[in-house]
Structure 1
Amino acid sequence: MPGRYFKLSEDVQDGTWYLGDPVDEQGQEVEDPWQFRAGRPVSVSGRLTVPIDQQGRALDFSTAGVGLTPVVHVQVASVFSELAPDDVQFVPVCIKGMPDPYVILVATKCIPCVDERASAVQFWTAEDGLPEKVGTYYAVDDLHIDVKKVGTAKVFRTEGWNIALIVSEDIKLALERIRATGVRFTPV
């Protein structure tokens, strides 16, 4: 019997920091900030820095900038590394003023598992004026997945709606055990 899965997102609260898109060693924003949520390994040269766009209490799990790049404290990264080593990649980042190390968490798998019948799905149409997007997801509210299509993955993105970062129940429980801040889990 397949286990339970959850969408992991940032628990946005007043008083916490807001991180910007990663920048390279020259201070330029990375060309493709969405690459970190594409559900495939990334290739990054040089050290990246993640700016703090709004000061506040640091979180163990944040989504940075327009790309919603997952930035995690190394304690959170160690949970993923231990429980799902084949499903993740870590890109070290510098966050100015933070003595603890942080990394970008990249889910390296993208699985076609959105349960369109159980989810509230909207598709792009010809009337939207973007022919290259016709037939693809415009919005997926109340996301549900078909766990039979997941296989052994414990961390992944949903194909067609890669904004969703999905984690297995054992990862959820491990993050709750270490009292990771900034995490919100929604059953899918």
Structure 2
Amino acid sequence: MPLFKDGEGEGENDDKRELFDTWRFNEGRVLEIERPIRLSVKPAGIALEYMESMGIPVVHRRVVSLFERLGLQKEVQFIPVDVEGQTEPWFILNALRVIRCIDDARCDEVSYWGPEDGEPDRVGEYQNVRGLKVDPAKIGDADIFRPWGWLVVLIVSEHVKQAMETEGITGMKFLEV
């Protein structure tokens, strides 16, 4: 599901829409979105209530309602998006916390960028993490966050996981970390 900012419009100008900078949704901060975001679903099918577009969580209004009932408003930002072919409200789930919590010793494998990799501004950062494990002592009371250094992962507490399962939210896949 490609993520686009509305550009020149739709129809014959579809090729003029610019791809949206998705990395900023992993930074753990409130975002000010100036232009509407539109999602194109490929291939077309039944929409799940939790989907990802280029690694960015896109959720149905039922997820927003559940998170509000759970009191998670300070941990997430929901950014409205238009999903092609859908009339229901959809939102990007922007996690507002990044926590330094990866437990390198318990992960299956971790590797770091080094000087020899040709990315000087990334030296010392995670290059790869397999079998992610986190240190619960470093998480505190967080219910939803991204782990510092491996922002491609969204982590939720057991409480949030159980609430989503009880609510019957479709589309998630949970792995214990």
TM norm structure 1: 0.83
RMSD: 1.4
1:177 matched to 2:159: no
Determine if contact 1:81/1:88 at 8 Å carries over to the other structure.
Answer: no
1:110 matched to 2:92: no
Q: Tell me what 1:57 maps to.
A: 46
Secondary structure of the equivalent of 1:78?
helix
1:50 Cα deviation from its structure 2 partner? 1.0
Q: For 1:107-159, what per-residue CA distance to the aligned partner results, in whole angstroms no more than 9, with x for missing partners?
A: 00101111111112111122212122121101111111111111221111111
Q: In the aligned structure 1, how far is the partner of 2:113 from the partner of 2:36?
A: 37
Q: In the aligned structure 2, how far is the partner of 1:107 from the partner of 1:82?
A: 17
Secondary structure of the equivalent of 2:68?
helix
Q: Tell me what 1:71 maps to.
A: 58
Determine if contact 1:39/1:162 at 8 Å carries over to the other structure.
Answer: no
1:33 Cα deviation from its structure 2 partner? 1.2
Q: Tell me what 1:164 maps to.
A: 153
Q: In the aligned structure 2, how far is the partner of 1:78 from the partner of 1:22?
A: 25
Q: Tell me what 1:10 maps to.
A: none
Question: Which of 104, 120, 124 in structure 1 is aligned with 2:113?
Answer: 124
Matches within 5 A, 1:136-147: 136-147=125-136
1:25 Cα deviation from its structure 2 partner? 5.1
Q: In the aligned structure 1, how far is the partner of 2:166 from the partner of 2:140?
A: 25
1:81 Cα deviation from its structure 2 partner? 2.4
Q: Tell me what 2:13 maps to.
A: none
Q: Tell me what 2:80 maps to.
A: 92
Determine if contact 1:114/1:158 at 8 Å carries over to the other structure.
Answer: yes
TM norm structure 2: 0.88
- What's the % identity of the aligned pairs? 37
Task: List gaps (5 residues or longer) in structure 2.
Answer: 9-16
| Count of residue pairs the alignment pairs up | 167
Determine if contact 2:3/2:37 at 8 Å carries over to the other structure.
Answer: no
What one-letter code is carried by the residue in structure 2 that aligns with 1:77? V
Higher-helix-fraction structure: 2
- Higher alpha-carbon Rg: 2
1:187 Cα deviation from its structure 2 partner? 0.6
Secondary structure of the equivalent of 2:69?
helix
Higher relative contact order (CA 8 A, sep 6+): 1
Determine if contact 1:72/1:103 at 8 Å carries over to the other structure.
Answer: yes
